[in-house]
């Protein structure tokens, strides 16, 4: 998601710095951004000249001081671990200018869990993107009780500046708006698979046939990333001690342990680049992994 957000901002003329502790991860990020740009060109959403200009605006670094020194806005997209997110914000509070707005792209947490760690809670807000950012162009702006009203206004304007439609939440809510509905679907789909009620393919097939959708909930999770799905599920399993949520986390962990993280690794619930759900006769029930 950090890569997609970075490319989206660069496409709208902004200078972007990607930070990670791992240089190899940053190199892979640039490769994936180039792939995203290629997809946008192929889809007619971007021309080659503008794509090259956007990529030229993106730099990478493992140096937090360099990453933060001129930042007007920080967007955090690390895994769904509150302690890790807090650590990142504490680090960048030391290296960003006083005016820098801090945001989190967390998909399942609320900003009040991290606000104090930012060192600037009044300038902190959840600013959550959907993927792919350039077509699912909706951003949740979710302040915590201490977020300044002017920060919310600035983020609304910024969202529109980079081609997004902002939705401002009136109060904190786990899962925002769309994700609150989407997470319920995911939870039930994973539960069906984890309990052995039906195959992955039949679970997706049921959704696709009835809802006339080109992809099912488990196929969609391959795009989200099974690592992300596991971390979210494991966090809630540990917090709530709910037996079914724990079962779901263990089910997802089997995929993660194999390195089957979804589209990004070429294997998740399905194999890529030619997943079974995209085959012409999939809906007829003739195709299974």
Domain ranges of the chain: 2-168, 178-276
- Which pLDDT value is given to residue 289? 55
- Which pLDDT value is given to residue 287? 56
pLDDT digits (tens, 9 = 90+) for 143-192: 999 999 999 999 999 999 999 999 999 999 999 999 899 989 999 999 99
Alpha helices in 43-131 (DSSP H): 48-56, 64-68, 82-93
- Which pLDDT value is given to residue 12? 97
Report the CATH fold assignment for 2-168. Answer: Rossmann fold (3.40.50)
- Which pLDDT value is given to residue 108? 84
Cα-Cα-Cα-Cα dihedral sign, residues 56, 32, 282, 232:
negative
Phi then psi for residue 199, to 5 deg, are -70, 160
Report the CATH fold assignment for 178-276. Answer: 1.10.1040
Residue segments in the chain with a per-residue pLDDT below the cut of 50: none
State both tokens at 10.
Answer: 């660069």
Cis peptide leading into residue 273 (ω within 30°): yes
pTM comes to 0.81
């Amino acid at each position: 998601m950090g890569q997609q957000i970075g490319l989206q901002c660069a496409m709208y003329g902004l200078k972007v710095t990607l930070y990670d502790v791992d240089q190899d991860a940053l190199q892979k990020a640039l490769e994936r951004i180039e792939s995203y740009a290629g997809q946008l060109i192929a889809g007619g959403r971007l021309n080659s000249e503008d794509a090259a200009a956007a990529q030229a605006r993106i730099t990478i670094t493992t140096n937090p001081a360099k990453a933060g020194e001129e930042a007007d806005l920080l967007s955090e997209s690390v895994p769904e671990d509150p302690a890790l997110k807090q650590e990142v914000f504490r680090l960048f509070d030391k290296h960003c200018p006083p005016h820098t707005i801090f945001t989190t792209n967390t998909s399942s947490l609320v900003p009040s869990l991290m606000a104090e760690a930012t060192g600037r809670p009044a300038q902190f807000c959840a600013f959550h993107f959907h993927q792919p950012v350039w077509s699912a162009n909706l951003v949740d702006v979710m302040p915590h009780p201490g977020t300044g009203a002017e920060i919310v206004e600035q983020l609304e304007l910024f969202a529109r500046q980079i081609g997004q439609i902002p939705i401002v939440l009136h109060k904190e809510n786990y899962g925002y708006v769309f994700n609150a509905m989407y997470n319920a679907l995911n939870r039930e789909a994973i539960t069906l698979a984890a309990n052995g009620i039906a195959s992955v393919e039949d679970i997706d097939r049921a959704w696709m046939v009835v809802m006339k959708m080109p992809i099912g909930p488990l196929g969609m999770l391959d795009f989200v990333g099974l690592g992300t799905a596991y971390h979210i599920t494991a966090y809630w399993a540990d917090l709530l001690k709910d037996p079914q949520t724990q079962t779901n986390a263990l089910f997802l962990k089997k995929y993660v342990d194999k390195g089957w993280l979804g589209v990004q690794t070429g294997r998740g619930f399905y194999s890529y680049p030619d997943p079974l759900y995209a085959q012409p006769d999939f809906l007829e029930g003739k195709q299974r992994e």
